[in-house]
Structure 1
């Protein structure tokens, strides 16, 4: 257990039957909030656009902006860069660390870029950029955004006793309380700061809140989750999700969501020229901010993972993201999964139907030609 017991005691204890009901696959048209760090790279924009084009399955109540930042990588990136650049002997204790940065560092070396030349947005800059990017996606689809888009936290949770009260966390609480007899899904495609704050502000929202989050490794994995941006930015919020008893659908990024790749030929054939949004998504793909950050010069032979569409795919057609009920683990302070004797049920994905997912996206965006 990593969350203090006095905090956990504030949450209602849902019966297993109620949790399993909340964790059942969505049927029909679901009420949804998307919680997103939209300007972080390019996958959130695809996910948001697809949700907005899927009104038959998704009643999108609002979109809440999350903070993001890669600043936590700076010190380690500099260290790895120095070791690799100077061809220093790598000690046994540093092998795993250096290997985790090897591709990034080699890209910087090939592009003649020093880590000090890279600007990393602060969380405050990240949430504001994400807020503006959400509005841009609405505008590209010519869908009004007024009353639908909310600014989130400009920092991460530092204490379970001090939730970060923002437009976003207040909107999540208000929405759950407004529809007490209906499941309110929140597709979390960033860190969990807004959602964790909402839970701490009003614990009883766990009665009808269902958090659908993509992050990290499968919970049976022995791997450390340090490399998961969504998880590592706000560790306290990540830990709270797995211990407070809220229904959560966990969609691992590594090994599962990582299969959701698109190539440049895919983008040219199926996305470019499909209205303002298709042209914009193509522009994002061919001007990926992470390419510059990682020193990627030639993208012609590469694919890119569009991680966050996995959440929307599960909402539209759960069979595209096969999952099962497992016991919820604890995320320890070293960022490994640990299972304890007493735990809540959760739903976890173990695969994706990549072709069916992107076919649905392509069909819907093609109508904008």
Structure 2
């Protein structure tokens, strides 16, 4: 990809674009919001959804997390009244930076990306461990000129470490994707996207009783927050929505970003310089009120 194509790919798209979503949907409550926001944004054409692996208290291991996410995707689609192509993803994380984990999701991305070109790329929104995307790149490196990856992962460059959930599960995968030369947009968690939070009064005012999907999202979020913060003035971060919102960020209405050389996540929980020093787009500020308003309106229209 030449420098002009790279700069164009790292700019917010103008007009309708084709998108695939890579999501660990059962991990917590924010992926469901992101999937719904994507499907309710008419200028974003969802071509496929990939179930990503995860391992926390909601799964017995990466494969179980991926399979639960696969089922949760269909649950959300049913509430939306929508259909989409859905593919199972990696049952495990990358064993190293050279060996892909072959899965239906990775195979689909390899095949699908070949239908696109640098001046009209396929946008890959990734909101979990980025194993599926890294595997596809390792299986066919030519796709890096045909995709743009927007990833919710890592922490802000000024944060004291980068031991963020999506990144720390598969550091090798993050290094593969970020170092591949594919146009890459990073939405860091603590220090940036952590500003995108909501509260019980807002959820109940905007979502409760509006429709079955809105009720599901409202109830899930409140129950999750109350499970650890009952009796406090809690707020809940809806992390993953921001990765979808970058595609809708015309005139910087939802976030601010800059171009800068890629910083690779290291295995010690810090960032390090990428040898190629190619450019990426780094989001550094979220316009919480504008984005939350757009999200709530689309969920209830």
Give the TM-score range, shorter chain.
Answer: over 0.9
Structure 1 stretch 184-193 or stretch 136-145: which is displaced more?
Answer: 136-145
| 1:27 correspondence with 2:11 | no
Inter-partner Cα distance in structure 2 for 1:345 and 1:68: 29
Deviation at 1:183, TM superposition (A): 1.0
1:206 aligns with 2:144: yes
- Tell me by how many angstroms 1:354 deviates: 0.6
Residues 162 and 265, structure 2, Cα contact 8 Å, conserved in 1: no
SS in 2 for 1:316: coil
What is the deviation of 1:184?
0.6
1:187 CA displacement = 0.6
What are the equivalent positions in structure 2 for 1:325-336 lying under 5 Å apart? 325-336=259-270
The 8 Å contact of residues 22 and 208 in structure 1, kept in 2 or not, is answered as no
Deviation at 1:196, TM superposition (A): 0.1
Aligned partners of 1:188 and 1:211 also within 8 Å: yes
* Aligned position for 1:153: 90
Q: Aligned pair count?
A: 298
**CA distance 1:63–1:299, change in 2 (3 Å):** farther
Counterpart for residue 347 of structure 1: 281
Q: Which residue of 2 aligns with 1:215?
A: 153
CA contact (8 A) 1:16 1:345 kept: no
Q: Deviations over 1:172-215 (max 9, x none)?
A: 11111122352111111001100000000110001121110011
Question: Equivalent residue for 2:126?
Answer: 188
Q: In structure 1, list runs of 5 or more residues that go unmatched.
A: 1-13, 71-117
What are the superposed Cα offsets for residues 203-258 of structure 1, whole Å, 9 maximum, x if unpaired?
00011211100112223x362212x0000000100111221111100111111110
| Aligned residues of 1:264 and 1:300 also touching (Cα < 8 A) | no
Q: Distance in 1 between matches of 2:169 and 2:58?
A: 17
Does residue 134 (structure 1) correspond to residue 134 (structure 2)? The answer is no
Greater relative contact order, per chain length (Cα 8 Å cut-off, separation 6+)? 1
Distance 1:346 1:299, change over 3 A: farther
Higher alpha-carbon Rg: 1
The unaligned stretches of length 5 or more in structure 2 are: none
The answer as to whether partners of 2:204 and 2:218 remain within 8 angstroms in 1 is yes
What SS class does the counterpart of residue 178 from structure 1 fall into? coil
Match in the other structure for 1:314: 246
| TM norm structure 2 | 0.94
Moved more, 136-145 or 30-39: 136-145
- Spell out structure 1 runs of 4+ moving beyond 6 A: none
1:164 aligns with 2:117: no
Question: Contact 2:62–2:91 at 8 Å: present in 1 too?
Answer: yes
TM-score normalised by L of structure 1: 0.77
TM-aligned CA distance change 1:340 to 1:156, over 3 Å = closer
Q: Which has the higher helix share?
A: 1
Equivalent in the alignment of 1:285: 221
* Counterpart residue number, 2:38: 51
Q: Cα gap change, 1:363/1:16 in structure 2, threshold over 3 Å: closer, same or farther?
A: same
Deviations 1:44-87 (A, max 9, x none): 000110111111x20111110001013xxxxxxxxxxxxxxxxx
The answer to whether 1:305 aligns with 2:237 is yes
Secondary structure at the aligned position of 2:96 is classed as coil
Match of 1:69 in 2: 55
Structure-2 separation of matches of 1:250 and 1:196: 15
